[in-house]
Amino acid sequence: MVAISSGFRLAAIFGIGAVLSACSLGGGRSFDTQGLMAPPAQCSIKPSDVGVAERMSAIDEGNGCRVPNPWRVSAIANVSFSEPATLNCGMADPLNDWLRNVVDPAAQRNFGESVMSVDIVASYDCRARNNESGAKMSEHGFGNAIDIAAFNLASGRKVSVKEGWYGSAAERGFLRLVRQQACNDFMTVLGPGSDSYHRDHFHLDLQNRGSGGHYCQ
Ligand SMILES: [Zn+2]
């Protein structure tokens, strides 16, 4: 009887220990944000003025990930998002400019039709860069980044980053142009050829490097 009860006690102690260490590993994880500047709380344009968007309450996960002025964005510049994106308000202006003045004219020129929607694969996401443990926090942790995997045209044709990058002349021309021009609106632009993590999507972010430098690879 004594042996059983002490066995129970041991099991209980080990059980509690396992739960505690799991919590401290998961919930207490902090990201390295050295050199990263959180996005400003004010926006140059209101996301709902240029698209379909609802204001959310500020996000602060206490581990580096925080979005001072988040919006749930479903469309910008008449281009629908495949899923609502959680973005800091400062993303609305560059997305609006790029979708309206670069993406749509490029689609007209290359395909003779408009882009109706984009496939969003990530927006706000509290994680390290490229999901690598020990890496610095991603701009996704500030709601300051969006990942786009495909552009859907009015006819229903899908131009995906992964296949289209090596696709027809029109697809190659369109994707290269919109990627290159995105560097005027965003501070970081990554895609196929940048590294193995960006083979199948464009990553666009507003990382404030202090120097005002862009990184478009
Ligand atoms: Zn990304």
Q: Distance between CA 152 and CA 66 in Å, rounded?
A: 31
Same domain, 14 and 98: no
The pLDDT, as a whole number, for residue 34 is: 85
Distance from residue 85's CA to the centre of ligand 1 (Å) = 12
Nearest Cα neighbor of 182 from 194, 167, 197 is 194
Same domain, 177 and 205: yes
Please state, in angstroms and rounded to a whole number, the distance separating the CA atoms of residues 140 and 129: 8
State the distance from the centre of ligand 1 to the C-alpha of 100, rounded, in angstroms.
Answer: 21
Closest CA to 192 of 167, 217, 157: 217
- Strand pairing report for 79-88 and 115-122: parallel
Pairing of strands 188-190, 215-216: parallel
- Residue 31 C-alpha to ligand 1 middle, in angstroms? 16
**Ligand 1: distance of its center to the CA of 102 in Å?**
20
* 165-180: pLDDT as tens digits: 999 999 999 999 999 9
In this structure, the answer to whether residues 71 and 138 fall within a common structural domain is: yes
Tokens matching residue 72: 């749930």
> How much is the pLDDT for 7?
43
Q: What is residue 134's predicted lDDT score, i.e. its pLDDT?
A: 82
Asked if the structure places residue 35 within a domain, the reply is no
Q: How many A from CA of 167 to the centre of ligand 1?
A: 23
Ligand 1 centroid, distance to 3 Cα (angstroms): 55
Q: Is residue 37 part of a domain?
A: no
Among the listed residues 66, 65, 70, the one whose alpha carbon sits nearest the alpha carbon of residue 90: 70
What is the domain extent for residue 21?
1-30
Residues of the chain with confidence (pLDDT) below 70: 1-28
Specify if 182 maps to a domain: yes
Same domain, 120 and 149: yes
Between the CA of 28 and the centroid of ligand 1 the distance, in Å, is 23
Check residue 2 and give its pLDDT.
42
Same structural domain, 109 and 153:
yes
* Nearest partner of 80 among 52, 105, 107, judged by Cα: 52
- Confidence (pLDDT) at 126: 94
Identity of the residue numbered 4:
I
- What's the gap in Å between 189 CA and the centre of ligand 1? 9
What's the confidence (pLDDT) of residue 30?
A: 85
Q: How many Å is the maximal CA-CA distance in the chain?
A: 83
Question: Is residue 38 situated within a structural domain?
Answer: no
Name the pTM for this structure.
0.86
Q: Look up the CATH number of the domain holding residue 199.
A: 3.30.1380
Question: Based on the structure, what is the number of domains in the chain?
Answer: 2
Question: How far is the centre of ligand 1, averaged over its atoms, from the C-alpha of 140 (Å)?
Answer: 6
SS3 10: helix
Q: Do 180 and 148 share a structural domain?
A: yes
42 occurs within a structural domain:
no
Please report the pLDDT score of residue 170 as a whole number. 98
- Looking at the structure, do residues 24 and 127 belong to the same domain, yes or no? no
Task: Report whether 182 contacts 189 (CB < 8 A).
Answer: yes
DSSP E strands, the chain:
51-55, 59-60, 66-67, 70-76, 79-88, 115-122, 145-153, 158-160, 188-190, 202-205, 215-216
Q: How far is the CA of 204 from the centre of ligand 1 (A)?
A: 7
